[in-house]
Structure 1
Amino acid sequence: MANFFKVTPKTQKLGQQCTVNISRLDANGCGVAHYQQKNIFIDGALPSETVVAKVIEQKSKYYRGKLVEIVTAAEHRVKPRCQHFARCGGCDIQHLASEEQLSFKQQKITELFARNEVIQGRQSNNQSLKIKRELPWQTPITDQEWHYRRKARIGVQYNKKGQATIGFRQKASNQLVAIKTCPVLVEPFDSLFYSLNVLIAAVSGKNPIGHIEIIASNVNTLIIRQLVKMSVQDRALWLVFAQQHQCQIMVDDGQSILPLTTCEELSYQIDTDINITFNPDNFIQVNHQINTKMVAMAMAWLALTPQDTVLDLFCGLGNFSLPLAKRVNRVVGVEGVDEMVVQAQQNAQANQLTNCQFYQADLNNDWQSYPWKNETYTKVLIDPARAGAYKAIAQLVKLKIPQLLYVSCDPATLAKDSQLLLSQGYKIEKISLIDMFSHTKHIETMVLFVR
């Protein structure tokens, strides 16, 4: 005889409201509380707050909630300056006071370092003992927290009627928020959206524009990602726009970027008297003021002398290499992108710096056979992308360079890479936050290691 069992479905919490106390922020700046034996993540909530949230996602190990009401507000809660903050995905923590944003980011790095030390301890000793390391924090690099972003991509999306939405992605979505103004962008780009809406509504063709890149350097520049061939009439519209807004315009057709107006070469100044030229699709730091201070601090921390020979890995356009070259005997810069190596060489020549050479190499693959590796270096600076430099560092430690300065734009890969350096005889001499991306979860960090 068959036995039949009634399966009791899981208790569904979706749509239910709960009142919880926020204990901390997660790595993305999202409030975390405890509810029904699980963590619940509530965007917009801050530590020490009591809030009402609606459960919008239920997983085996956590819930996700939507903030409904703040019952008790945190001392450090502030009113977001941007009218689009609640929906736009560009900023994460505008509702948190600036000084507390820095504290949150510093704590995030400290926790990641501690977590990686636990993992390292388990791997080497088969134990779960937590290694306690006090990080030697220095004063963070800060500057103006608004109107700092000099490069950004403004999205363009069309509905079925061909009407365009112009703005940035919504939180956790590929859909755009229609932006009216953005206080993070440098002026006058912060208030350019109305004019762009008017112009794009007037251009011809079906869904003609993919996005618009903005760059503020020696000259304000717009790069139009054109999905169809630009008509004569549309060209005339953009030329009038350029004149009205005192900017130059380039067109990206997917194959190349060509000037629509008479265009100057793009450049920015660093270290008082060094001019860095770049192409529209080259990487540059988005915060010019912070970049200037970051370079100055790197020069100071390395305590450079005229006898030093410095290796600069992931050197890009020479953002660090050229200021280094002014102070030392010789600089060798290595970069993975051919075009940027050529640009760095040209920047050195234009600034009359003859003691620096640049080479192309994929630094996260084997580079032991390259001749520049065989020189004797007294100091090394690395500034990798978000993916970090673990494979590069695994080779770099063999050179036993006395001082290593690591500039990081991702705390998780920084923590992982740092453990490798610490295990190979380096110690952390200094560490500092770099407030490159105010009001966002993104973190830039500088760390000085010595053998």
Structure 2
Amino acid sequence: EQKSKYARAKLISITKQSKSRVEPQCQHFGLCGGCDLQMLDLEKQIQFKKQKITDLFSRSFSTQKITDKMSAAELPWEKTIESSPWHYRRKARIGVQFDKKAHATIGFRQKLTNQLASIKSCPVLVEPLNVIFPLLKKLLLQLTVKSAIGHIEVIQADIIEKSKQESRQKDNQVVIVVRQLKPMNETDIGLWQSYALQHHWHVIIDDGNKQLPLVSNMAGKSTVLSYELTDRSKVYFSSSDFIQINHQVNTAMINQALVWLNLSASENVLDLFCGLGNFSLALAQHAKCVVGVEGVQGMVDKAIQNAHINGLDNCQFYQTDLNSDWLTESWAKEHKFDKVLLDPARAGAEQAVLQVAELAIPSVLYVSCDPATLARDSAILISKGYK
């Protein structure tokens, strides 16, 4: 298939196998659209990704007319942050599709289509989430209200169960969020409760307007989710919030950020796209002041709450659209920032880095989940005088 800037092909057969080819561990690899590189040796995967980043940087430098072209050897590579290649993902959305007879397919989207691949297990998910698919399918077959579920989200998290009488914390629990399209009857509520009790699940029902624990009305309980950072501080979140899906890598990223920023107790730090305070809480342990800025007010409210719960009084959080002109905002005018950390979504931080450069913040640390926008934004910073 020929596109304007690329061609798309389908593998028909392998005439000569590469020495770097390995047997994919997942039985659904090739059909499921979740993973692309399981057939490649892990070390070669890292090399492939490095080369991709190098190519993207080269193109972005050309777009910005930067003469200092970087080769793979010249990019300042640090030691790769890695975790186990299997059983690392702590949060996933499982699709549910029903046929005309209300039989459910449970799994992830197939490649290049909206149709689901029926999944039996996923070695990328943490245990026991990796083998939850057959249990969910068996449960759905028994429900009396048919074709009533849009999707199911699975999360591994520490939880605090609160009631009027007590508060109990449990670590590494399985949380299941059910997107319920039709009201549940007592039979189906009882079925979910039975499975939850048997498999130690904490079930949350999402009716499209609110999320409530399955047993909240009956037992007066609420469930609070959290995960722990290396300094023992806690990040509290709700099931609909974005969190880093690899806990081990997230911890390593935070520790590496602290090393690179090398903060002192006299420095002010700006944390853009701060979310729940994932980086802010750690930065605040070492800096004079941390100003976190996020586009979603609900996340800002939770970041404020997280700082308060963790006893941090040197954090300030603000809601601002970081894709707009924010230099006139009070938090941007009232502080002289020594360092800035950015952790944007895949769309990157084009407008933000332009304004960071205008503020002339001396040190910039950019955490990225998309190499294309990282290369684009890095080229902008370098064109403005950063090295």
The alignment's TM-score, normalised by the length of structure 1, stands at 0.79
Q: State whether residues 249 and 263 of structure 1, in contact with CA within 8 Å, keep that contact through their aligned partners in structure 2.
A: no
Aligned mates of 1:63, 1:381 — CA distance in 2: 37
Aligned mates of 1:99, 1:327 — CA distance in 2: 35
Q: Which runs of 5+ in 1 are unaligned?
A: 1-56, 428-451
Q: Which amino acid aligns with 1:260?
A: L
Aligned mates of 2:97, 2:282 — CA distance in 1: 42
Q: Which residue of 2 aligns with 1:98?
A: 42
- State the Cα deviation string for residues 181-222 of structure 1 (Å, max 9, x = none): 000001101001111111001112231101000110113200
Counterparts of 1:8-19 in structure 2, within 5 Å, are: none
Aligned mates of 1:383, 1:88 — CA distance in 2: 29
Aligned mates of 2:257, 2:18 — CA distance in 1: 36
Please state if 1:247 is matched with 2:201.
yes
Q: Which amino acid aligns with 1:99?
A: E
Q: 2:383 aligns with which of 419, 423, 432?
A: 423
Please state if 1:237 is matched with 2:191.
yes
Please state if 1:75 is matched with 2:26.
no
SS in 2 for 1:310: strand
Q: Cα distance, 1:61 vs. partner?
A: 7.7
Cα pair distance change 1:92/1:369, threshold 3 Å: same
SS in 2 for 1:265: strand
Q: State whether residues 320 and 326 of structure 2, in contact with CA within 8 Å, keep that contact through their aligned partners in structure 1.
A: yes
Cα pair distance change 1:70/1:426, threshold 3 Å: same
Please state if 1:339 is matched with 2:298.
yes
SS in 2 for 1:409: coil
Q: 1:270 aligns with which of 217, 229, 238?
A: 229
Aligned mates of 2:336, 2:8 — CA distance in 1: 53
SS in 2 for 1:155: strand
Q: State whether residues 226 and 234 of structure 2, in contact with CA within 8 Å, keep that contact through their aligned partners in structure 1.
A: yes
Q: Which residue of 2 aligns with 1:225?
A: 179
**More deviation, 361-370/78-87:** 361-370
Q: Cα distance, 1:132 vs. partner?
A: 3.9
Aligned mates of 1:309, 1:116 — CA distance in 2: 31
Q: State whether residues 272 and 292 of structure 2, in contact with CA within 8 Å, keep that contact through their aligned partners in structure 1.
A: yes
Please state if 1:392 is matched with 2:371.
no
- State the Cα deviation string for residues 14-46 of structure 1 (Å, max 9, x = none): xxxxxxxxxxxxxxxxxxxxxxxxxxxxxxxxx
Cα pair distance change 1:62/1:249, threshold 3 Å: closer
Q: Which residue of 1 aligns with 2:342?
A: 382
- State the Cα deviation string for residues 321-372 of structure 1 (Å, max 9, x = none): 0100001111111111101111011111111010111111001111122111
Aligned mates of 1:194, 1:303 — CA distance in 2: 48
Q: Which amino acid aligns with 1:379?
A: K
Q: Cα distance, 1:179 vs. partner?
A: 0.4
Aligned mates of 1:156, 1:353 — CA distance in 2: 42
Q: Which residue of 2 aligns with 1:279?
A: 238
Q: Which amino acid aligns with 2:338?
A: T
Q: 2:268 aligns with which of 295, 302, 309?
A: 309
Q: Which amino acid aligns with 1:187?
A: E
Q: 2:250 aligns with which of 266, 273, 291?
A: 291
Q: 1:186 aligns with which of 126, 140, 157?
A: 126
Aligned residues: 365
Q: Which residue of 2 aligns with 1:3?
A: none
Counterparts of 1:38-49 in structure 2, within 5 Å, are: none
Q: Cα distance, 1:161 vs. partner?
A: 1.4
Once superposed, what is the RMSD of the aligned Cα atoms? 1.5
SS in 2 for 1:152: strand
Q: 2:374 aligns with which of 409, 414, 417?
A: 414
Q: Which residue of 2 aligns with 1:120?
A: 64
Please state if 1:365 is matched with 2:319.
no
Q: Which residue of 2 aligns with 1:325?
A: 284
Q: Which amino acid aligns with 1:131?
A: K
Cα pair distance change 1:422/1:265, threshold 3 Å: same
Aligned mates of 1:279, 1:163 — CA distance in 2: 30
Please state if 1:401 is matched with 2:361.
yes
Q: Which residue of 1 aligns with 2:214?
A: 260
Q: State whether residues 114 and 130 of structure 1, in contact with CA within 8 Å, keep that contact through their aligned partners in structure 2.
A: no
SS in 1 for 2:10: strand
Q: Cα distance, 1:65 vs. partner?
A: 3.5
Cα pair distance change 1:325/1:62, threshold 3 Å: closer
Cα pair distance change 1:365/1:97, threshold 3 Å: same
Please state if 1:300 is matched with 2:238.
no
Q: State whether residues 231 and 282 of structure 2, in contact with CA within 8 Å, keep that contact through their aligned partners in structure 1.
A: no
SS in 1 for 2:311: coil
SS in 2 for 1:327: coil
Q: Which residue of 1 aligns with 2:82?
A: 142
The answer to which structure has the higher helix fraction is: 2
Please state if 1:66 is matched with 2:38.
no
Q: Cα distance, 1:307 vs. partner?
A: 1.1
The alignment's TM-score, normalised by the length of structure 2, stands at 0.92
Q: State whether residues 304 and 328 of structure 1, in contact with CA within 8 Å, keep that contact through their aligned partners in structure 2.
A: yes
Q: Which amino acid aligns with 1:411?
A: P
Percent of residue pairs identical = 53
Q: Cα distance, 1:394 vs. partner?
A: 1.2
Q: Cα distance, 1:76 vs. partner?
A: 0.5
Q: Which amino acid aligns with 1:406?
A: Y
Q: Which residue of 1 aligns with 2:55?
A: 111
Q: Which amino acid aligns with 1:354?
A: D
Aligned mates of 2:186, 2:289 — CA distance in 1: 52
SS in 2 for 1:172: coil
SS in 1 for 2:69: coil
Structure with max Cα Rg:
1
